[in-house]
Structure 1
Amino acid sequence: MFLLPSMLVLLIICFWYLIWGYSLVTNHGVPERMMKAIIEACREFLELPEEEKRGISGKHVLDPIRSGTSFNESVDEILCWRDYVKIFQHPEFHSPNKPPSFREIALEYSKRVRLVAREIIRGISESLGLEKDYIYETLNPENGLQLIAANLYPPCPQPELAMGLPPHSDHGLLTLLIQNQIGGLQVQHKGKWVNIDPIPNSFLANIGDHIEILSNGKYKSVLHRAVVNNRDVRISIAVPHGPALDAIVSPDSKLVENVGNPPAYGAMKYK
């Protein structure tokens, strides 16, 4: 499914993550029908009646299924206009029982996306001057946390007063994101917010906070946000991939020694 990264591919990876903190990935081997199917399955779940979603949703950050809404006009100065669901997929698979097709679609999709993430992380490892499997051997993402984080942004009557998601960076190593064909994703670049228009059958691959730490800041975990509109429903599905929960992440000694810079980050446990 994948060729080993050539020098040209490694240079492209290095350029995109040095300059932008993300890349657009095509020719990834995940069928477009599967990407459309997971978007539709998540939409069906998020459009279930609230009482049905509450019945299967936990509240703690490590509960395997959590759903809710960010809209609370009594406490929010800027309204976060979205409904969301977060579902753990790996190392232990979880799924809501509605819609009936969700389990099969999510199981296959998460497996395929995990393969894509593995190849990108290997490319990142080589682009940093490390062995291809070094990050996998050091941080053990094969046993790390993978989840589906789906967001539905309804049309907002006053989008200038609301935000889909406020500026944030992503936890973990790498996030692969897809969306329907409605724009709304923005990435911060040189102090300005840049629109990232949807490209069919592609992934947006974001560097996570823990790659930034491992690389001692060479690759940055980019700030991004979601804006809303007053016309169309936007759906995005992010699949973050983390190291093993007990992994200790710090600037890698090989990179610190090679670059000659002192560590810019302290060691931290992922969980």
Structure 2
Amino acid sequence: MAAVAQNSSFVKALAENPTLKSIPSQFTFATDSKGSQSDSLPIIDFSLLTSPNPDQRCRVLADLDSACREWGFFILVNHGIPEKLLKAIIASSLEFFELPEEEKRRYEAKSASDPVKSGSGSLINTANQRVHLWRDFVKSYVHPEFNCPTEPHTLRETLQEFSGKTRPVFRKLMHAIEENLGLEQGFVDEALKLDSCFQLYAANYYPPCPEPDQAIGIPAHTDHGLLTFLIHNGVAGLQIQHNGEWFDTFSPQNAILVNNADHLEILSNGRYKSVRHRAVVNTEATRISVVMANGAAPEAVVAPAPALVEKDGRPFYRPMKFIEYVETMLSNRLLGKSNLDCIKIQDE
């Protein structure tokens, strides 16, 4: 079994081996992957943000504020992105994972700044051992410059359209958040240079695992950026942490799962916390998730909004150029180390 793991740099090939009854030792990541279920996960109706009815709009703004403050997560419905496109980006991403290994290997990351990368990923645990993750991935920077694997052919056009359709949704949510934080209209567009906003596409492939409690898809982490959008193929696996407890997320078809990311916490001077989340695996079905991480322009320096610093008496985070934060985070493979912790200004 170890030979299979060594001959392949992708988990898919390992998982498809008919003799696989247990996971190779390098994948062992013991965790209690059970999550609680909650019927109170916030649901935000995007269409009401432009409602001509002031009461409806006021209500959805209050719901959005509460979701960002209390959960750091919400389920976005009626967002206007066609269901056909959501299905197409999942299907094209799956086609990538079904390519021959040598084609996928062309994109094995040489450095954190590679605009397209694929692989399986690993991390160093607290005992200083390398642990492999039970997932394959492909990532590419899609805005302000568009990058994409050359195969499959369907991916380029679909990804360009998906990136183009998600940006206005992201901008409108950021304008609503700006309003909720009491910031001057136009502040986030100007300070974060959102015309050139950074978007990172990531598709994750989690094959069935013979010992799901002994492996992990992606361990607990927070994301770089402002808001992360996630869609999936209907197989659950995303868990979010709320008040120290892990919750399974289930979403209606065509919904987008959205979470606060690190730069929203920085911008809000800690009012909207970046939410910890993880991906767990199962024995039955392959899970595919497609993520669009939305952030400030690469060259923008992200810092707490001055109006909020004035209210709080001091900033709680140091300023940092957006792309430097992203590349530091992507190259950091040490479990439990957070970029956000590194730029928090500790109490004197």
TM-score range, shorter chain: over 0.9
1:85-109 CA-to-partner distances (Å, cap 9, x unmatched) read 0011111112222111111111111
Aligned to 1:23: 74
Please identify runs of 4+ aligned residues in structure 1 that moved more than 4 A: 75-79
Counterpart CA distance in 1 for 2:76 and 2:169 is 9
Counterpart CA distance in 2 for 1:179 and 1:51 is 26
Q: Within the alignment, does 1:52 sit opposite 2:103 as a pair?
A: yes
Aligned to 1:104: 157
Aligned to 2:50: 4
Counterpart CA distance in 2 for 1:154 and 1:188 is 23
Query: Counterpart of 2:142 in structure 1: which amino acid?
Result: Q
Q: Which secondary structure does the structure 2 equivalent of 1:193 belong to?
A: strand
- Which one has the largest radius of gyration? 2
Which runs of structure 2 are paired with 1:1-271 in the superposition (5 Å)? 3-4=49-50, 6-70=57-121, 79-258=132-311, 260-271=312-323
Once the two structures are TM-superposed, the CA of residue 248 in structure 1 deviates from its matched residue by: 1.5
Normalised to the residue count of structure 2, the TM-score between the two structures is: 0.73
Normalised to the residue count of structure 1, the TM-score between the two structures is: 0.93
Q: Is the strand fraction higher in 1 or 2?
A: 1
Cα distance 1:25–1:46, how it changes in 2: closer, same or farther (>3 A)? same
Cα distance 1:43–1:76, how it changes in 2: closer, same or farther (>3 A)? farther
In the alignment of these two chains, the number of paired residues is 269
Q: Which stretch of the first structure deviates more once superposed, 57-66 or 237-246?
A: 57-66
Once the two structures are TM-superposed, the CA of residue 57 in structure 1 deviates from its matched residue by: 4.5
Counterpart CA distance in 2 for 1:77 and 1:244 is 33
Q: Which secondary structure does the structure 2 equivalent of 1:108 belong to?
A: helix
Counterpart CA distance in 2 for 1:37 and 1:103 is 11
Q: Which secondary structure does the structure 2 equivalent of 1:216 belong to?
A: coil
Q: Which secondary structure does the structure 2 equivalent of 1:213 belong to?
A: helix
Counterpart CA distance in 2 for 1:13 and 1:198 is 17
1:163-184 CA-to-partner distances (Å, cap 9, x unmatched) read 0000110101111111111111
Q: Which secondary structure does the structure 2 equivalent of 1:239 belong to?
A: strand
Query: Counterpart of 2:73 in structure 1: which amino acid?
Result: Y
Q: Is the helix fraction higher in 1 or 2?
A: 2
Unaligned runs of 5+ in 2: 1-45, 52-56, 324-348
Query: Counterpart of 1:43 in structure 2: which amino acid?
Result: L
Query: 1:71 touches 1:82 (CA, 8 Å); kept in 2?
Result: no
Counterpart CA distance in 1 for 2:129 and 2:140 is 25
Q: Which secondary structure does the structure 1 equivalent of 2:149 belong to?
A: coil
Counterpart CA distance in 2 for 1:49 and 1:76 is 30
Unaligned runs of 5+ in 1: none
Counterpart CA distance in 2 for 1:80 and 1:29 is 34
Counterpart CA distance in 1 for 2:251 and 2:235 is 7
Aligned to 2:39: none
